[in-house]
Amino acid sequence: MKIAVIGGGPGGLYFSILAKKAMPESQIDVYERNKADDAFGFGVVFSDETLSEFLSRDPKSYELIRSRFAYWDDLDVARDGEKVRITGNGFCGCSRKTLLQLLQQRCKEEGVNLHFEYNIEDVSSLNADVIVAGDGINSGLREQFKDDFGTKIEYTKNKFVWMGSTKPLDAFTYFFRNTPHGIFVAHTYQYQEGMSTWIFETTEKTWKNSGFTTENEEDTIQKLSEIFKEELDGHGLISNRSHWRKFPIITNENWHKDNVVLLGDAKATAHYSIGSGTKLAMECAIALADSIAENQNDIPKAFQEYDNKRRQRVEMIQHAAKVSLEWFEDMERHKQHDFLPFAFGVMTRSKKVTFENLAIRDTSFTNAVLTEFNNAINNKNTKLPPAFSSYDLRKMHLENRIVMAPMEQYSAENGLISDWHLVHYGSRAIGGIGLIITESVAVSDIGKVTLGCAMIKSKDQIDRWKNVVDFVHKNSTAKIAIQLGHSGRRGGVKLPWEGYNLPLENAWNLLSASAIPYKDKMSVPKEMDSEDMKLVISEFIQATKNAEEAGFDMIEIQANHGFLLASFLSPLTNSRTDEFGGSIENRLKFPLEVFKAVRENFHQDKPISIRISAFDWAENGISEEDVLQIAKAFKEAGADIINVSTGYTVAKQKPAYGRMYQTPFSDAIKNTVQIPTITTGTIQDIDQINTIILNKRADLVALGRPLLLDPNFVRNAQAYEQFEADDIPKQYEAGISHLYPYKLSERKAIETMKKELKPESHKKITN
């Protein structure tokens, strides 16, 4: 077999080594357009996990790399002179030039042919069975067939520049510096004795205001040396084509075309804030070499196996990297936090690392973060898990910060709730929830989504709700809020288990901001006129008074997921040309009128929440600027907290689900508008809840699906944390002696497993 590798970077070289070892009879040629000793950039980073993989696949490469790397267990976060060290992080740094030389050496030892200063313009001239396009971010081969590969390149917002220094470092360090123009960060690490990498990053606004220019390396060095004077401590900065740029996020729908396959940065990039592109390239090189060796007589199958082995992993890394880079894009927002919470935010920015992960690495750091959190809220118990700290909204006192999210039950008859609802809400209250938010309760008959939706209009309906509220208050410390809503254009559909979003045969007339149906088969709603608006406002007012009569502690107004009020807020559902359409100020008018009417008719000591969709997951949807203006407007109108959700504005949405995926939207609203928030969305355990609160991404955390089959989620979490709850019903107290030891042993077993799974340290032992 003849294999041609275009690009002599680490990925291409490592693939060549492994492929030649697996297929000694094959001819492998590497074509590199630069000289053998050309290297752009300074150092590269590998984790202990990656080094273990190298060791298992090619021990000789591993030993060569290991003999020349700088190793560290520590990571420092520093800001304006303050610094904290987090231990237990196994990484190594290696000079990129040295790495290339070592891999070139291994290629020669295995019989790989290396061709330098050799630019391939026509791949058909190679006469190869397999052509590996490993020619980097600016891959000419990928660009030649970009339509076939389905190449997409998205540039990030921040500006960065890659430099070096002689400044010695004993830990990977994030140096943050506040300047009159904004904040800068330097991602730094030592990669060999006397040499360290310094990647400087800042927002485009700060970059412009600081007077930088793209290619003036001398000016860049002068300015950055002054900003980071203390950190550099007399050492200079070294440039190597160090021009300011924006990081490109590269994805490809197809990784191969005919006999050409993509590798490394040509295929996919991951932002440097989470890990080296070199690591990703070399890990993919392993999978590609294996796939070809296993399918030498069926190259299309080999390429498909390569895709199967790596695509999910690559996309996961890219997603985590995107979340990480977004944290740095929002540095200006995060800098308001005190230093320890700020440092904790740096460490947990990608959401992959949590409070418990960090505690396993460095308990002293997590203890300090936890102590500062409790001191800030005047809690004498400095070890109290954040989830179990109390929280006040107006005169409503919550015993903990875990919320039951609105979950539709579709089990009412003629709007009348039943014993199902009593058990549903009552069991979660006894189970220790701090705040219950009911399913959306329709303010009118045509405001229902389905025939099974609840209402609070008639005396019987009010009494049934009062029965639930009284039970919650009598038998638990939980508070209970009612979500008042109107289905709008999403109404008149069957129960979900009869068919999701399928319209009823004799559906009622629908209302919305504009005459746009939610789905093709659903009815076209009427565009609301002034009389419709007056009627809906009066219905919300009456529902508010009825909620007060039933004894609810809080009201939440439904303005999310494309329902009636939400339909006014998004440009995807509001195409009006009158005073209620167009600008965000106009689109806000009717929802604000409803909110103000509810606020005026609800007890002033009781809080009101507004639930909004902060992102539509669809092209041309609501903007971040709009969302912040919406949040600010509701805050000024008297909202006490904003429940931040996303999506369901339109049926053809494309959400990017993942762990805690909606928390960044809550973070943006909370820390920009300075209003408390509730967050939700694939939050599954107490560790994630504690991490979110410590990270200041939200004040309260709502759970939906985790509570459906586990009404005792909070009790299990309390036992897991060994938190001595004082609100366990007397009838259930005897269960403490069983649950608490069981959960403690379960936690210890999990922690032991995590420690055992932690990659072995590759630190060199010196005498």
Structure tokens at 530: 């002034």
Percentage of the chain beyond pLDDT 90 is 83
pLDDT at 8 over 70: yes
Contacts of 6 (CB under 8 A, 6+ apart): 12, 31, 120, 123, 131, 132, 133, 134, 135, 141
Architecture field, domain 399-741: Alpha-Beta Barrel (3.20)
In this prediction the pTM is: 0.93
Residue-level pLDDT at 278: 84
pLDDT at 763 over 70: no
Residue-level pLDDT at 758: 67
Residue-level pLDDT at 39: 67
Asked if residue 365 lies in contact with residue 348, where contact means CB atoms within 8 angstroms, the answer is: no
Residue-level pLDDT at 764: 61
Give the span between the Cα atoms of 590 and 568, in whole angstroms: 7
Residue-level pLDDT at 767: 44
Q: How confident is the model at residue 27 (pLDDT cuts 50, 70, 90)?
A: very high
For the chain, the average pLDDT equals 94
Percentage of the chain beyond pLDDT 70 is 98
Domain limits of the chain? 2-330, 399-741
Would you call 530 exposed, middle or buried from its count of C-beta atoms within 10 A (0-12, 13-18, 19+)? exposed
pLDDT at 55 over 80: no
Asked if residue 607 lies in contact with residue 393, where contact means CB atoms within 8 angstroms, the answer is: yes
Give the span between the Cα atoms of 257 and 591, in whole angstroms: 52
Task: Tell me the per-residue pLDDT of 208-247, one tens digit each, with 9 for 90 and over.
Answer: 999 999 999 999 999 999 999 999 999 999 998 899 999 9
Pairing of strands 391-393, 2-6: unpaired
Residue-level pLDDT at 94: 81
Q: How confident is the model at residue 15 (pLDDT cuts 50, 70, 90)?
A: very high
Would you call 25 exposed, middle or buried from its count of C-beta atoms within 10 A (0-12, 13-18, 19+)? exposed
Pairing of strands 75-79, 82-86: antiparallel
Contacts of 446 (CB under 8 A, 6+ apart): 487, 491, 508, 509, 510, 511
Asked if residue 574 lies in contact with residue 613, where contact means CB atoms within 8 angstroms, the answer is: no
Grouping H, G, I as helix, E, B as strand and the rest as coil, residue 157 is coil
On whether the 2-330 domain is CATH 3.40.50.300, my answer is no
Residue 115: count of CB within 10 angstroms of its CB: 15
Grouping H, G, I as helix, E, B as strand and the rest as coil, residue 246 is coil
Q: How confident is the model at residue 38 (pLDDT cuts 50, 70, 90)?
A: confident
Grouping H, G, I as helix, E, B as strand and the rest as coil, residue 196 is strand
Q: Specify the DSSP class assigned to residue 84.
A: E
CA distances from 114 to 121, 234, 316 (A): 17, 41, 33
Task: Tell me the per-residue pLDDT of 483-518, one tens digit each, with 9 for 90 and over.
Answer: 999 999 999 999 999 988 899 998 899 999 999 999
Q: Specify the DSSP class assigned to residue 183.
A: E
pLDDT at 766 over 60: no
Treating both helix axes as pointing N-terminal to C-terminal, what angle do 419-430 and 459-475 enclose, rounded to 10 degrees?
Answer: 20
Residue-level pLDDT at 48: 73
Task: Tell me the per-residue pLDDT of 256-311, one tens digit each, with 9 for 90 and over.
Answer: 999 999 999 999 999 988 876 888 898 999 999 999 999 999 999 999 999 999 99
Pairing of strands 526-527, 554-559: unpaired
Mean pLDDT of 322-343: 95
Give the span between the Cα atoms of 398 and 388, in whole angstroms: 10
Structure tokens at 223: 């300015």
Give the span between the Cα atoms of 515 and 530, in whole angstroms: 15
DSSP string of 248-317, one letter each residue: EEEEES-SEETTEEE-GGGT----TTT--HHHHHHHHHHHHHHHHHHTTT-HHHHHHHHHHHHHHHHHHH
Give the span between the Cα atoms of 284 and 558, in whole angstroms: 46
Q: How confident is the model at residue 91 (pLDDT cuts 50, 70, 90)?
A: confident
Could you tell me how far CA 278 lies from the centroid of its own chain? 23
Task: Tell me the per-residue pLDDT of 586-601, one tens digit each, with 9 for 90 and over.
Answer: 999 999 999 999 999 9
pLDDT at 92 over 80: no
Task: Tell me the per-residue pLDDT of 429-454, one tens digit each, with 9 for 90 and over.
Answer: 999 999 999 999 999 999 999 999 99
- Provide the Cα torsion 548, 550, 552, 558; round to 10°: -80
pLDDT at 750 over 60: yes
Give the span between the Cα atoms of 140 and 157, in whole angstroms: 24
Pairing of strands 113-116, 27-32: parallel
3-state secondary structure 503-565: ECCCCCCCEECCCCCCCCCCCCCEECCHHHHHHHHHHHHHHHHHHHHHCCCEEEEEECCCCHH
Type of residue found at 16: S
End-to-end CA distance of the chain: 47
Task: Tell me the per-residue pLDDT of 111-146, one tens digit each, with 9 for 90 and over.
Answer: 999 999 988 888 888 889 999 999 999 999 999 999
Q: How confident is the model at residue 88 (pLDDT cuts 50, 70, 90)?
A: confident
Give the span between the Cα atoms of 379 and 204, in whole angstroms: 40
Sign for the CA dihedral angle at 70, 76, 80, 82 comes to: negative
Nearest to 299 by CA among 256, 331, 342, 235: 256
CA atoms within 13 A on the CB side of 572: 24
Nearest to 236 by CA among 248, 249, 222, 252: 222
Task: Tell me the per-residue pLDDT of 354-402, one tens digit each, with 9 for 90 and over.
Answer: 999 999 999 999 999 999 999 999 999 999 999 999 999 999 999 999 9
Structure tokens at 303: 């390429």
Could you tell me how far CA 260 lies from the centroid of its own chain? 33
Asked if residue 61 lies in contact with residue 329, where contact means CB atoms within 8 angstroms, the answer is: no
Give the span between the Cα atoms of 235 and 229, in whole angstroms: 9
